[in-house]
Amino acid sequence: MRGRAARRRVAVPGRVASPPVMGRSGYPPAMARRRRWVIGWPVRLALLVVIVVANVIGAGVVLVLAAFVLPSGAIEDPVTVRVVNMVAFGGYLLLAIVVGGVWGALRFRMRLTGDPVTEQRREHRRVLYGPLRLTTVQAVLWLAAVLLFGGLNAQYSWRLALQVGETTLVGGIVVCALSYLLSERILRRTTGRVLADQPPRRRVLPGVVVRSLLFWALGTAVFVVGLLLSAISALAYGDVPATQLAVIILSVGGTGLIVGGLVTAGAARAVADPVNAVRRAMRTVERGDFSARVTVNDGTELGQLQSGFNTMVAGLAERERIRDLFGRQVGHDVARAAAAADEVRLGGEVRPVAVLFVDLVGSTGLAVQRPAEEVVELLNRFFGLVVEVVEEHGGWINKFMGDAALAVFGAPAAHPDAAGGALAAGRELAARLRAELPEIDAGVGVSAGDAVAGNVGDVRRYEYTVIGDPVNEAARLTELAKSVPGGVVASGTAVGLAGGDEGDRWEVGAATVLRGRDDGTHLAVPRAADRAADRATSG
């Protein structure tokens, strides 16, 4: 009756159904019961194999030492005691493998809550603390073995029980240390995956110093303690022959050397591997490759080192990108000079420079006759050619002005032959424009002389530029060059200042008073033979 009433209530139109029953986690019970692995089955299998092998070998060493090497004192029936211990050893070993395998695997299962943030935090904790969780499982099983075999042998001899318990405890400590190192190494890739999105901001595991001291104590000091206990037992009871004492020292000491070496090597590799990864990545960065990154796979200071390196390289890459963009805007020479300066200084200095000015003919008509996209594409091709030629001859583009460009040779970086470089660039540019961009006409003017070069503006916004008579003269020569065959005109002063044989490639004519100037300027154009050679080269 109650069920039918409930069904009728659900079926009533317009009535809102009751919300699902929530569990203690705040989510539906079905969701709360779902679980998933935080590591894949290959990693689980590798962990199982490594830890089982380490524990079996450790248990075997403990058995040999306790049963055949260490003194047991007077026992009424040593054969029966040994058989009982052997049977108990085999049974407990099988039980511990099964229990430890299942229990250890369950330490890497996580209950789903439906909250991605909570699940990610839990996954991080289970992976980062995974080696410690597995070591805790083994420590519990070894401690149970200490109690079991100590109690089992107490009925025969308290001395035997104490000796077996001490040996089992030492063996468990060493096996736990080795298992921690091995499991940590196996989980490195998984740790790197979970820390990729959220690197450690603080240390979440024991630091390098604490871990090094701890592994020394677990891998080496415990065997020294074992030898000390054997010596105390021999002195206390006085029934250990010299030969047996020598065997004890050789057995325990040899085992300590081997195991201590393995533990020390593992601890050293755990520190050295992340450092070496950072060192290799630093070499890559030194070669100019800012894409280098290291995998963050450690929860100690080493993980913070790895994360800090990645952050530093990302900052360097961003800085390099900004510097490259800055260099593209103002010129790489200007960018380097600005970066090298201790502070921004307005003003300039008088320097001998050469100036190349290039301007399109009829650009207004182009803008009217063609779509804007075509005009922009044509201007980009034009300016691309200008930049290429100017930089090949050691100059830099000071500024683009609509459909014109101003190039400077000799500032801010010194040029061995500023006038010669500007003249050679002017000849080659005029020839290549005719050959590669025949649909446009341009005039090229070249001048040289002393000008003021420096920062102009305000400390909040300034630019590096060149101001002086050569700039004005080059602009006027460009106007004249638009109507001259070949499209390039230089001043006689620039030809006279040119070094090498560049001056011989120009023919200097009569002086002409340019617009806006009082004094006459001797005009120079490339010789006919050089114009023909330039046309042949550009073709």
Taken in order of first residue, the domains within the chain and their CATH numbers are: 29-217 (no CATH), 346-538 (3.30.70.1230)
Q: What percent of the chain has pLDDT over 90?
A: 17
Instruction: Identify the H or E element spanning 451.
Output: strand 441-458
Categorize the per-residue pLDDT at 365 as very low, low, confident or very high, splitting at 50, 70 and 90: low
Q: In this predicted model, what pLDDT tens digit does every residue of 202-229 receive, in sequence order?
A: 665 666 777 777 777 766 777 777 777 7
pLDDT in the model for residue 411: 83
pLDDT in the model for residue 246: 80
Taking residues 23-46, report their average pLDDT. Answer: 65
Q: In this predicted model, what pLDDT tens digit does every residue of 268-304 receive, in sequence order?
A: 887 888 888 889 888 988 888 888 888 887 777 787 8
The sign one gets for the Cα dihedral 373, 378, 384, 387 is negative
pLDDT for residue 433 is more than 80: yes
pLDDT in the model for residue 539: 53
Q: What percent of the chain has pLDDT over 70?
A: 81
Distance of CA 352 to the CA centre of its chain: 46
Q: In this predicted model, what pLDDT tens digit does every residue of 445-463 receive, in sequence order?
A: 999 999 988 888 777 777 7
451 phi/psi in degrees, rounded to 5? -145, 160
pLDDT in the model for residue 334: 59
pLDDT in the model for residue 518: 76
The sign one gets for the Cα dihedral 386, 388, 389, 395 is positive
What amino acid is encoded at 421 in this protein?
G
Instruction: Tell me if 145 sits within 8 A of 91, measured CB to CB.
Output: no
The size of the chain, in residues, is: 539
pLDDT in the model for residue 68: 67
pLDDT in the model for residue 338: 55
Q: What is the pTM of this model?
A: 0.58
Taking residues 30-37, report their average pLDDT. Answer: 62
**Half-sphere CA count of 144, side-chain side, radius 13 A:** 14
Distance CA 59, CA 175 (A): 9
Instruction: Tell me if 334 sits within 8 A of 454, measured CB to CB.
Output: no
Neighbouring residues of 460: CB distance < 8 A, sequence distance ≥ 6: none
